[in-house]
Amino acid sequence: MLRAVDEDAGATAEPAMEPAMATLDDARQEKARRFARQRQALMLVNLGISAVVIAVLLFSGLSFWLRDALQFAAGWQPIPGWEPLRIALYFIVLGAVVAIIDAPLTWYSGYVLPHRYGLSTQRVGAWLLDGAKSLAISLPIEILAVLFVYLLLAVSPNAWWLWTGLAMLLFTVVLANLAPILLLPLFYKLTPLPDGDVKQRALALAAQAHTRVRGIYSMNMSAKTTAANAAVMGLGNTRRIVIGDTLLNHYTPDEIEVVVAHELGHQVHRDIPKLIIVQSVTMLGGLYLVNLALHAVVGAFPAYQGLSDPATMPLVAAVLGIFGLVVLPLTNGFSRVVERQADGYALESTGKVAAFISAMTRLANQNLAELSPSPLVEFFLYNHPSIGNRLAFARTYAEKRGKAR
């Protein structure tokens, strides 16, 4: 089992790491494997449902039927070829149908499973409230985005994808900047790290990194989960490191220090801007493929009334969905490289290999993270190296450093 470590147990005063070193819990690893298998099965079911829904919409004529049923909303065309009311209604009706079809799976994978494995601490009311909040934020943004794209399709049928890509880049940058101060506080309470040992260590690491940290925050993850995590967030003036209280409360100061060093590594390497660029370029590729598909299909099937016909939405979803699956291993692979570099930075800047290994082991136990998933699963789905690989990396690092001396 996880050995609880008291914050004030004085681990800093003890010279040796041994008493606090976490050891891998075999029973929890067995549980982690079961949990992973179930989540992967659910993911495949979800993917299958999405594929069937889109195929039905594309090939049954249902998409045209819905468009025609919304004819009453087609009158208002502020710009010729752009029917904002019909487009919005089409999107909302379709979105609602998909949400209803997905509801049992959403409930099972989002609420039932994490509770069964003891990972969620949320009651059903709080869980539903979080879902309602997410919907209230994302739905208006999604509707505006769809209206904007269909406006571009109407006025700029050949360059719409380029404008859409640029607009998305701009939106991503603004969102990355605002998310930690505007969105995150809607779901979590963030408090600046209190003065003390951990903060002193973090400040020393930041000084060593020559990076201007705009703040290190503790986040009350324990209100929702038993899992531990930390992250860098924000862009420009909102750049910050956020550490879950689930981590702060159960890890030794040395372990917290290597985690903070890892997150600082992301800041030093400018990983958030890098990820935004990779995402945007990838998205542009996807949008270009949608453009090709739209022109080909709309040209070949007269039932489509043009590129800006709302009935093209399932086609857009199909192309983006398939494209997303194909590039998923690439973007995940890029993320794994970036995470490995941050691990390297953490080891290099602290020199605390034992604490790193202990922290990773503790994470595997606590978060039910599979130590060694199948390489195929890791290749497709993991945006961090598996913990087994991170441990191996740390051991190799220690060996190399030993030889260098």
Please give the residue ranges that form the binding site for Zn ion (CB under 5 A).
339, 342
Q: Which of 25/339 has CB closer to Zn ion?
A: 339
Residue 65: CB minimum distance to Zn ion, A: 47
Q: Count Cβ neighbours within 10 Å for each residue of 151-178 and write b for 16 or more, e otherwise.
A: bbbbeebeebbebbbeebbeebbeebbe
Which residue matches tokens 């949608």? Answer: 290
Is the dihedral angle over the CA atoms 195, 209, 242, 17 positive or is it negative? negative
Which of residues 83 and 339 has its CB atom nearest to Zn ion in the complex? 339
Q: Which amino acid is at 312?
A: T
Cα–Cα dist 336/194, whole Å: 31
Q: How far is the CB of 241 from Zn ion (least distance, A)?
A: 11
> Measured from the CB of residue 327, what is the shortest distance to Zn ion in angstroms?
21
Alpha-carbon span 71 to 116, nearest angstrom: 47
Strands of the 230-233 sheet, one edge to the other: 190-192, 216-219, 240-244, 230-233
Tell me the closest approach of the beta carbon of residue 342 to Zn ion, in angstroms: 5
Residue nearer to Zn ion on the CB measure, 151 or 227: 227
Q: Give the whole-angstrom CA distance, residue 176 versus residue 263.
A: 16
CB of 262 to Zn ion, least distance (A): 6
Nearest distance in Å: CB 304, Zn ion:
44
Number of H helices, E strands in the chain: 15, 4
Pick the closer one to Zn ion by CB: 339 or 370.
339
Q: Of 309 and 339, which has the nearer Cβ to Zn ion? A: 339
Helix (H) or strand (E) holding 194: none
Burial 10-19 (b: 16+ CB within 10 A, else e): ebeeeeebee
Instruction: State in angstroms the smallest separation of the CB of 271 from Zn ion.
Output: 8
Nearer to Zn ion, 255 or 339 (CB): 339
